[in-house]
Structure 1
């Protein structure tokens, strides 16, 4: 890994595997190059106010990333890649099938799954394998009506997708590689949608294919793409978030006792962890016209990477941003980890609910969990994601003795 000082204009960003390198580089870029073009002509935006401005301006900063790749076809039903007004129409239909009430009704089942998973843990276990992956994937798969025997392939698909090295993001060959990886996932969900069209059941996919708002329905492609994106984002977000929560609590061990004494503060702790370690480090956009940001001109048709991770650590937006502060009160535009504006994550209520239930379960079960790093392995053996997702694929933990919590 090169040092931050070598990452000058015309180079490429470091990957996300080394926190020290990444945070030093982001601090340098916020201060010296708040809008910066890499060797592929991708513009990177680092300051909180600039990231927020771009997220709010969906006319200038389009989410239709297929514009960047010659010959690429649009992806109907992928809310994250559709602009208003079509985005509004589709989101209305999808929201009618994925309501806050239906999410809130999942809490007893999430509690049940959490208890069952934690019952199978021992003194030492991998948090990702034991809880952070199976909890959200079970919840979202049950919500979609997908069979339990398919859960293992969902993790394989996720690993394959995040292992794709894109290089030049405008290169048609890179898009072809990505399409090849995604193809079996798309085919799987198309089959699921077709089955529901013939024999609908009591699940989210069935509600998607039968939902109608203001005369608008979803066609087969839109429904299958949305179901696919919901499974992917719906579990990777919570998987990385739960790992980040336990890593942060391990670094600040007083939080275990503090939150056990004041469990109503658990949502505040989750929001602060999301600020420090957002599940996704970056959000992509493409400009539709020439525009200026932080004093620099970004030409029309340029790919833009909005660094949520950098914005969340911007001292211009957050006092002493590297400090964990339970009283920080992250709300509204200060919390960018689920996006902002029309593209605010539709699954955010579910992710927050899963995280809250899981943290309460951990507090009741364990006096404390300590992350066990292996100094003989790269990154302590945690296997962090290298791009986009910000988190780890492994998180070995030791359950500290001395607390007589549930089933302990």
Structure 2
């Protein structure tokens, strides 16, 4: 009997409830599915791990789909494979260590306090007033670029996040989507790169005590990063670094709103904060998919995927897979182990993960200290991104001070 056509994915307008139900159907009935564009989607935890664990078979270099296109061939950590990836990550890691992140905690605490001091009255937008400026100021100071330029960064970010296409391959092959990609992604990227290049030039002339300076001087076996590689990493950090923390905080408030008993337990026992952060990342990973391209024919979940096909591994679905996680729809900050994949897996595990966790923990502590009660404002617009991002675009809150 022919396999039934799966239902179309639902909108995220309801905050993800319909999407999570649809993903469960896909895990049960269509765990590896080829869509009408020839893209293969993978939904089960074990298969997502397989796709994200083997760069020799599942390449991150999306330009393989069209070698003559420059659209997706930038030398950045997220879209390159070994051995270049290994070299770049080793060099970048010299300047972006766990100690570097840990040393940022006093500054993150200071900034969070200053931002919350500016909140007047009983209502504010968590994203616009707190969750966006906090990480972007931290990253700007870490890189050594002016924090007052954050509205410039936000303009670039908003344009790139507004890019939506049904078929991922249209970015390279479709005229209309290609034009949108040029306007919404390539143009702001060019502006960001030019901005960062000016700062890299200045650091080569006069190094300082910042990440760009350390990247300029980082060296392994006589090899250093090129200007382009430094600029690409700086752009990646500016974008992904602030987006991940901003989304994490927005999702944390949502999860606590939906689980008032956990919110009460958290106020009584701050030791639960780290567990809450991990469970938020599992329940609502900000980035929902990881894209790869097959380097040869491969079988995943009993389905043969040809060479040079895009594979979209669903991190969101994997984080809710009942085959691997007991009671996945129960929010449990004491869950141990918690095998969530919000920051990816394998060689492309997010370098900024420790920073996002630190910022999320400090920000949540400060919110709990500042406000006796935190609620999503009843009836306020609470828009969600359409796809690819599992997070509200804004988070209107009503708070009560102690």
What is the TM-score of this pair, normalised by structure 2? 0.92
Kindly state the Cα deviation for residue 282 of structure 1 after the two structures are TM-superposed. 0.7
In structure 2, the partner of 1:43 is 40
Q: Given the alignment, which residue of 52, 57, 60 partners 1:60?
A: 57
**Aligned equivalents of 2:295, 2:8: Cα separation in 1:** 23
Deviation digits for residues 72-126 of structure 1 (CA, Å, limit 9, x no counterpart)? 2364541111111211111010000001111100000000001111111131111
Q: Give the corresponding residue for 2:247.
A: 240
**Alignment partner of 2:220: what SS?**
coil
1:304 equivalent in alignment to 2:311: yes
Structure 2 unaligned blocks of 5 or more: none
Match of 1:288 among 275, 290, 295: 295
Looking at structure 2, the residues matched to 166 and 71 of structure 1 have their Cα atoms a distance apart, in angstroms, of 21
1:217 is displaced (CA, Å) by 1.0
**SS at structure 2 position matched to 1:367:** strand
Q: Give how far 1:326 is off.
A: 1.8
**Within 5 Å, which residues of 2 pair with 1:319-334?**
319-331=326-338, 334=339
Q: Distance in 2 between matches of 1:75 and 1:97?
A: 24
Task: Give the 3-state SS of the residue equivalent to 2:165 in structure 1.
Answer: coil
List, as ranges, runs of 4+ consecutive aligned residues in structure 1 with deviation greater than 6 Å. none
1:203 to 200, 210, 214: 210
> Does structure 1 residue 24 correspond to structure 2 residue 31?
no
2: CA distance, partners of 1:76 / 1:129: 30
Whether the 8 Å contact between 2:286 and 2:391 is mirrored in structure 1 is yes
Aligned 1:5-20 pairs, distance under 5 A: 8-9=5-6, 13-18=9-14, 19-20=16-17
Tell me the matched-pair count.
Answer: 388
| Cα displacement (A) at 1:51 | 0.3
* Corresponding residue of 1:387: 387
**2:342 alignment partner, SS class:** coil
Question: What secondary structure does 2:219 align onto?
Answer: coil
Structure 2 matches for 1:359-374, cutoff 5 A? 359-374=364-379
Conservation of the 8 A alpha-carbon contact between 1:190 and 1:220: yes
**Worse-matched range after superposition: 74-83 or 306-315:** 74-83
Measure how far apart 1:368 and its partner are: 2.1
Q: SS of the counterpart of 2:159?
A: helix
Spell out, residue by residue over 1:233-283, the C-alpha distance to the aligned partner (whole angstroms, 9 max, x if none): 100000000000011111122333312322122101100011000011111
| Gap change, CA 1:259 and 1:60, over 3 Å in 2 | same
- Structure 2 distance, partners of 1:137, 1:319, is 36
* In structure 1, distance between residues paired with 2:199 and 2:44: 42
Aligned twin of 2:90: 92
Matches of 1:268 and 1:191 in 2, distance apart?
41
Q: Say whether residues 1:137 and 2:136 are aligned partners.
A: yes
SS for the counterpart of 1:55 is helix
Q: Pairwise CA RMSD of aligned residues?
A: 1.8
Bigger drift between 172-181 and 235-244 goes to: 172-181
Structure 1: segments with no counterpart, 5+ residues: 1-6, 375-379
Match of 1:345 among 327, 345, 350: 350
> 2:203–2:216: 8 Å Cα contact kept in structure 1?
yes
TM-score between both structures, scaled by the size of structure 1:
0.91
What SS does structure 2 have at the residue aligned with 1:368? strand
Q: 2:136·2:147 contact (CA, 8 Å) conserved in 1?
A: no
Q: Output the CA distance in 2 between the equivalents of 1:294 and 1:280.
A: 23
Q: Does 1:69 align with 2:66?
A: yes
Change (3 A) 1:15 1:81: farther
Q: Deviations over 1:195-220 (max 9, x none)?
A: 22222221111111111122221101
CA contact (8 A) 1:253 1:368 kept: no
**Corresponding residue of 1:3:** none
Greater shift after overlay, 158-167 or 129-138?
A: 158-167
* Partner-residue secondary structure (3-state), 1:284: strand
- Contact in 1 for aligned 2:137/2:147 (Cα 8 Å): yes
Supply the distance in 2 between the matched residues of 1:182 and 1:167 (Cα, whole angstroms): 22
Matched, 1:114 2:100: no
- Alignment match, 2:340: 335
The separation in 1 between residues aligned to 2:280 and 2:293, in whole angstroms, is 29
